[in-house]
A = this chain, B = another copy of it.
């Protein structure tokens, strides 16, 4: 049994947090590969080490004195080291960083030092081997990530190691210069390690006990999703939910390695399992509710449009020619509606309308703005009869005017259009009927 465990910045902000992490790792011998982030905020108003590094490097680049700023960063690490009673000096590392800052080694290098140093502390604390990510995460000359080479180099390097700490967020180009991932940071490193060592599980430890059924800014204390499929996660993330970045999932999905999102501060919580597929019956009929505001709809009416071959294509071509992507195209009889992002549409409105008139000679074009789309997502909806009935009854009961409904293939997700002002009410109503009512 091999587990790769990745810890976010808030899990490693202080010696106290390190101790929680240490306890988690030592409680399970399978937790053999550790991917740390840089120390995050210890309290509200605190500065993340990575941001301190950016600030410090800016001084260096501007030729100003950056020694004081670098000392502050060193103090952050020494506080952790001393708090953990480790016998570890960081003098050598900070001397090298100072030298490289002086030589303008670049922002990528500067930013990466937070993880690098934290990895050294973590390895010392756990008694694991430290493996510099620059050795095992490979970018090409142009700075593009090289997945194949990384997998080869990392597999070989980690093969002989019983336990290792590999800092997240960065790697190196063939000339040895450091390159960071643009987004998803340490999550990507963690998934690459999990892939390389053929892990049985990739644990992603954060400060939340997994993904929530819906946005906590809309619904108070929403329930946690116990199991979510990659597909459901992508659907929810598309509709605005904060989940793992696509790049952090892709390597694992191909290998069928499940991800477990856990809370360092509440290790007793099971968190959320992210899996390729599962016959695990979900706790609630729905897995999650996502949504976004700020859409506009363009409804085209024309008698007998359905028998006009090429009608839909011509309509969509007008949007394409104006550089607009569309979200949904629900249709009735003799009506065809196109949902677009309002912000993108506004400046092109008149060209689009003129284009539609030229292209398909509609009987009528109707515009509506300030619309929101809500996605109700869940593999459980397929096997539960009446999901749509419950959703629309709940919305009616909550006095929400449903502007649009779109459901493609059998109830895997249902898209609902409402007015912006009904957005929160609608999400709360759907949450209540499926989750609150069941608790």
Contacts and interface: CB of A to CB of B under 8 A. Distances in A.
A369 interface: no
Given A312-B316, A332-B413, A333-B235, A406 B403 contact: no
A401 B411 CA distance: 9
Given A313-B320, A317-B313, A331 B385 contact: no
Contact of A303 (B234, B334, B401): B234
A87 interface: no
Nearest to A417: B407
Contacts of A406: 330-332, 405-407
Interface string A153-183: 0000000000000000000000000000000
A308 interface: yes
Interface stretch (A50-58, A61-69, A274-282, A390-398): A390-398
Contacts of A411: 402
Contact of A312 (B309, B329, B334, B396): B329
Nearest to A394: B389
Contacts of A335: 408-409, 412
A350 interface: no
A413 B333 contact: yes
Question: Size class of A's contact patch?
Answer: 35 or more
A258 to B, nearest CB: 19
Contacts of A311: 325
B405 A235 contact: no
Given A234-B303, A325-B307, A329-B312, A402 B397 contact: no
Interface in A202-223: none
Contact of A399 (B299, B310, B332, B385): B385
A58 B308 CA distance: 38
Given A393-B393, A397-B386, A409 B297 contact: yes
Interface of A: 234-235, 238-239, 297, 299, 303-304, 306-313, 316-317, 319-320, 323-337, 366, 368, 375, 377, 385-397, 399, 401-415
Q: Which 9 A-B pairs have the closest CB atoms?
A: A386-B396, A389-B393, A389-B392, A388-B392, A313-B316, A337-B408, A405-B407, A235-B333, A332-B408
